[in-house]
């Protein structure tokens, strides 16, 4: 068979992901913080981008702009009278030791010295150590102990659950001695003998000083185990509050020997084991429940991350108005100097003109992509408001089942676009601040045929209300909650109730039962 070359003409359609389209898709799924970071980076890399005081219309292409727009007026920078500037600076200066010292920005206190900082647990304990009556040696040992406390206020460290090596030693060796990777997640008390060796004193001194540190505020600090932490707080309660001696004694016995049974709320077994009455065990359990298992929690240095809504939904008269939040986002525009260069003012080398044109197109696409992102979020939110108007009027119990396809068909976009828009975007409504994905979810079927489904979030709210109103001494089981929901025309399985209850962070009925 002979080989020959032929030409074959075919027509086909294919999706080409241009760099501009990739950029638009990327910007669409960014959060407000990520978008601001991308814009700042682009402004540093692209000299044609600058931030304007007011948002301007999208610029046209270089060729079209020269025909449609008139050249802007020449801007004259105001002249600076340097002699007057220096003279005023000298008049406002302070004379010290016969020399002038200008009161400039460098003389003002730094920002860190002005803004108040929340004291950490270490700062709080060291302040108490400074006003204590300990001798010099005890102060050094106390400072050593305080410096080794973790963020929860415990004298412990994290070790590998398989080889038992501390986290500091694990960083030098990636492989666990017992095989595989290190298992970091086990807290063990720091041996007092090791603390004594590091502090250069005998173990008895460490024991004596640790007892003094455990008297500091907050109660329970300096403990090595959870049991010791709770016992320290019980003794503090005994000194500060009027609690019956039998309740304190029962609390100490429960913490020392029956903490696991207390977690399961097995009060009957605890009462039988200790030979106490059930009301007394219940009272001791109530006292233990008021204690703080992590004394260092109030001194946490973690900063609160506040959510800034991407869009606002406000009710005006009988209608809801959607408004995109533009605060915090730079108003980008093209630098006028480079725009004049592209209009032909002045002779530019070919390479310089090509570079400016390339950066112009890049800046133009960025501005248009941001505008398109804001318009898409606006349209999606408008559609959600149309579907979930009853929720906006009456609350979460009236949230309707909604899927991405419903909004996509309503505004004429693809489901993947709706998914990108609603990811990590937040809306402020009269009912509170919600993520846009909150409004999407499958529905629970009604018992009667033809009945409209109910959103899963609404069912969760009903479960929460049912458990809130239950008798604490006889809590409802998941099956009993199923029967109550079916009485409200909601067809739901017991395992679904269990799943929703766990998502709400609600304990099972055996652990919700109270004896007091």
Give tens-digit pLDDT for 361-407: 888 888 888 998 999 999 999 999 999 999 999 988 888 899 899 99
Go through the domains of the chain in sequence order and give each one's CATH number: 224-294 (no CATH), 326-439 (no CATH), 443-512 (1.10.10.60)
Task: Name the percent of the chain lying above pLDDT 90.
Answer: 37
Closest Cα to residue 384, out of 409, 405, 402? 402
Residue 181: predicted pLDDT = 67
**Mean pLDDT in residue range 219-223:** 94
Report the run of H or E that residue 280 belongs to, with start and end: helix 278-289
Under DSSP, the state recorded for 435 is: E
Residue 67: predicted pLDDT = 39
* CA-CA-CA-CA torsion sign (332, 336, 337, 343): positive
DSSP conformation letters of 337-399: HHHHHHTT-S---HHHHHHHHHHHHHHHHHHHHHHHHHHHHHHHHHHHHHHTHHHHHH-GGGP
Under DSSP, the state recorded for 106 is: G
**Mean pLDDT in residue range 410-438:** 91
Residue 221: is its pLDDT beyond 90? yes
Task: Name the percent of the chain lying above pLDDT 70.
Answer: 80
Residue 323: is its pLDDT beyond 70? yes
Question: Of the given ranges (72-86, 239-253, 478-492), which has the lowest mean pLDDT?
Answer: 72-86
Instruction: List Cβ neighbours of 339 (8 Å cut-off, separation of 6 or more).
Output: 59, 65, 360
Residue 449: is its pLDDT beyond 70? no
Supply the angle between the helices 136-147 and 121-130 in degrees, to the nearest 10: 170
Q: Are 125 and 111 in contact (CB under 8 A)?
A: no
**Opening angle at CA 432, ends 430 and 435, nearest 5:** 120
Look at the block and give the residue holding tokens 């030098």.
172
φ/ψ (deg, to 5) at 131: -105, 10
Report the run of H or E that residue 426 belongs to, with start and end: strand 426-429
**Mean pLDDT in residue range 172-199:** 74
Closest Cα to residue 183, out of 164, 208, 202, 156? 164
């Amino acid at each position: 068979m002979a080989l020959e070359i032929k030409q074959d003409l075919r027509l086909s359609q294919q999706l080409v992901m241009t760099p501009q389209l990739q950029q638009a898709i990327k910007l669409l799924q960014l959060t407000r913080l990520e978008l601001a970071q991308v814009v700042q980076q682009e402004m540093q890399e692209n000299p044609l981008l600058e931030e304007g005081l007011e948002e301007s219309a999208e610029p046209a292409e270089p060729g079209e702009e020269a025909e449609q727009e008139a050249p802007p007026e020449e801007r004259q920078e105001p002249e600076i009278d340097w002699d007057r500037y220096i003279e005023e600076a000298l008049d406002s200066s302070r004379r010290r030791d016969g020399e002038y010292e200008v009161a400039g920005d460098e003389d003002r206190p730094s920002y860190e010295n002005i803004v108040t900082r929340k004291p950490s647990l270490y700062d709080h304990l060291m302040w108490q150590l400074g006003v204590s009556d300990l001798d010099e040696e005890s102060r050094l040992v106390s400072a050593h102990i305080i410096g080794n406390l973790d963020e929860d206020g415990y004298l412990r460290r994290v070790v590998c659950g398989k080889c038992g090596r501390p986290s500091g030693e694990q960083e030098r060796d990636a492989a666990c001695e017992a095989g595989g990777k290190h298992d970091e997640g086990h807290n063990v008390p720091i041996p007092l003998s090791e603390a004594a060796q590091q502090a250069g004193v005998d173990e008895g001194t460490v024991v004596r000083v640790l007892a003094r540190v455990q008297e500091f505020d907050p109660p329970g600090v300096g403990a090595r185990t959870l049991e010791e932490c709770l016992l320290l707080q019980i003794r503090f309660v005994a000194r500060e509050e009027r609690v019956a001696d039998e309740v304190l004694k029962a609390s100490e016995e429960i913490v020392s020997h029956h903490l696991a049974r207390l977690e399961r709320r097995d009060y009957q077994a605890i009462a039988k084991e200790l030979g106490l009455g059930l009301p007394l065990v219940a009272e001791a359990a109530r006292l233990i429940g008021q204690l703080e298992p992590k004394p260092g929690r109030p001194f946490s240095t973690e900063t609160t991350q506040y959510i800034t809504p991407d869009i606002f939904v406000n009710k005006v008269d009988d209608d809801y108005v959607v408004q995109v939040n533009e605060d915090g986002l730079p108003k980008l525009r093209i630098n006028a100097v480079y725009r004049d260069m592209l209009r032909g003012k002045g002779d530019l080398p070919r390479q310089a003109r090509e570079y400016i044109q390339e950066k112009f197109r890049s800046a133009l696409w960025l501005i248009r992509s941001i505008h398109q992102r804001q318009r898409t979020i606006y349209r999606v939110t408008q559609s959600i408001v149309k579907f979930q108007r009853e929720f906006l009027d009456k609350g979460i119990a009236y949230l309707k089942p909604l899927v991405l396809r419903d909004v996509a068909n309503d505004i004429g976009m693809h489901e993947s676009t709706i998914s990108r828009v609603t990811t990590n975007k937040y809306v402020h409504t009269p009912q509170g601040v919600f993520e846009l994905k909150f409004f999407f979810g499958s529905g629970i079927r009604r018992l009667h045929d033809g009945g409209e489904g109910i959103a899963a979030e609404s069912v969760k709210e009903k479960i929460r209300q049912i458990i809130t109103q239950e008798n604490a001494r006889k809590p409802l089981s998941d099956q009993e909650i199923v029967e109550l929901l079916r009485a409200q025309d909601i067809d739901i399985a017991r395992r679904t109730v269990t799943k929703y209850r766990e998502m709400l962070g609600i304990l099972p009925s055996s652990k919700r039962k109270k004896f007091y």
